[in-house]
Structure formats: C-alpha cells, structure tokens
Amino acid sequence: MTPIFFKRAYFRPDDYQKTVFDVDYDHLRKIGVDVLFIDVDNTLVSYDETIPGSRTLELLDGLKKSGFRVILISNNHEPRVRTFADACGLPFVHGAKKPFRCGFRRAEALAGGPDPSRVAVLGDQFMTDVYGGKRMGYRVVVVDAIKRKTEKWYTKLNRRIERLALADLHRSDPDFYDGLHLGEKR
Ligand SMILES: [Mg+2]
C-alpha cells in the first residue's frame, strides 16, 4: 500500500521509456512542450561517471537545436552537477530537493517562468522525478536507471518506496500500469 502521506495521483507518469534516447520528443513538441527539466544521475549518466557520453551530448545538442529549452535538475551537490552541466553547455539546478517544489521553481526561473503545461520532466525515480514533477503540474516521462548498483543508500530507500508505489498502482489501476508497461521499470 502506498503510505498515506503520498498522493496516488502524483505517482502517475505520462510516459515510460527505457532510456532518454527512446523518448518521443516530436510528440512532446506537438502537444506544446518546449521546456525540459532533465534529471542527471542515472537518467543521463551513472553515478560512477562524471561527464556525458558522446551519444548523450548529441541528444542534448539536438534537443537544443530543435527548440527545447533544456535545464538539468539534480538533487546532487554543486561540483558534480556543475561539472556535468558545463560539459553539456546547459544551465542547471543543483541541490534541488526533489520532490519538493523549491528546486523546480529555480528551474522555472532559469527557463523564464514557463506555464507548467509547457514543461516535461525526464527522470529515473518515482519518488523524486515523477512525484515532484506531477505535483508541479508538469508532464513526466520516467526512464530506467542507467546503473542501479552504484546508487547511494537514500536512493536505495527511495527505490523500496517506489516498489510499493508501483505495486499499489498495479493493484489500483492495472490498465494504466499495463498500458505504460510499468512492469518493466528498472
Ligand atoms: Mg536520478
């Protein structure tokens, strides 16, 4: 059962894909999304790497060129996020405290205060990216974690709650759960 202090509605992503390379960005543009808040750790890079791979750089450059405003948003500390963001040439929010609103508000300020309907969050965690993004009223695309092995203890704890939330979603709305293939979420 989902712990009662969590709202079920905020655990419902709009889409689930294996990686950031599988996301349908054209579709996002078509439905009016032009701002992307992208998580860093295990969404764009594993915890044991510090800079983006060439394919990731290519993707981010392509997104910028196709008109997306891209902002990196991470709960991690400044040196790590800055190193990664500088290598990508992207603005960033570090210490975002997702799922709390403060970091998302900082990202909104960097994006020029877009309407929430224009924003999509890409991230690998239900507890931080999905829950936080949905309570802000954004569209959320959840992806698999790149590498779970090197996650820290608090992320492992979040994963246990994520399992409970996913099991609850499976029970309460099996059509939605199966429709997004959330049974395959890693
Ligand atoms: Mg992450």
Residues 14-71 pLDDT 10s: 999 999 999 999 999 999 999 999 999 999 999 999 999 999 999 999 999 999 999 9
Q: How far apart are the first and last CA of the chain?
A: 20
Domain span at residue 122 reads: 9-180
Residues 72-119 pLDDT 10s: 999 999 999 999 999 999 999 999 999 999 999 999 999 999 999 999
Q: How far is CA 155 from CA 76, 147, 181, in A?
A: 11, 12, 23
pLDDT at 183 over 70: yes
CA 117–ligand 1 middle distance (angstroms): 22
Q: Confirm whether 113 is domain-assigned.
A: yes
Q: Confirm whether 1 is domain-assigned.
A: no
Q: Confirm whether 146 is domain-assigned.
A: yes
Give the burial class of 28: count Cβ atoms within 10 A of its Cβ; 0-12 exposed, 13-18 middle, 19 or more buried.
buried
Find the CATH number of the domain harbouring 163.
3.40.50.1000
Q: Confirm whether 4 is domain-assigned.
A: no
CA 49–ligand 1 middle distance (angstroms): 13
Report the DSSP beta bridge partners of residue 142: 16, 123
Domain count, the chain: 1
What residues have a C-beta under 5 A from ligand 1, the ion? 39, 41-43, 124
Residues 116-131 pLDDT 10s: 999 999 999 999 999 9
Please state the φ and ψ torsions of residue 16, each to the nearest 5 degrees.
-130, 130
CA 151–ligand 1 middle distance (angstroms): 9
Q: Confirm whether 3 is domain-assigned.
A: no
CA 102–ligand 1 middle distance (angstroms): 17
Q: Confirm whether 173 is domain-assigned.
A: yes
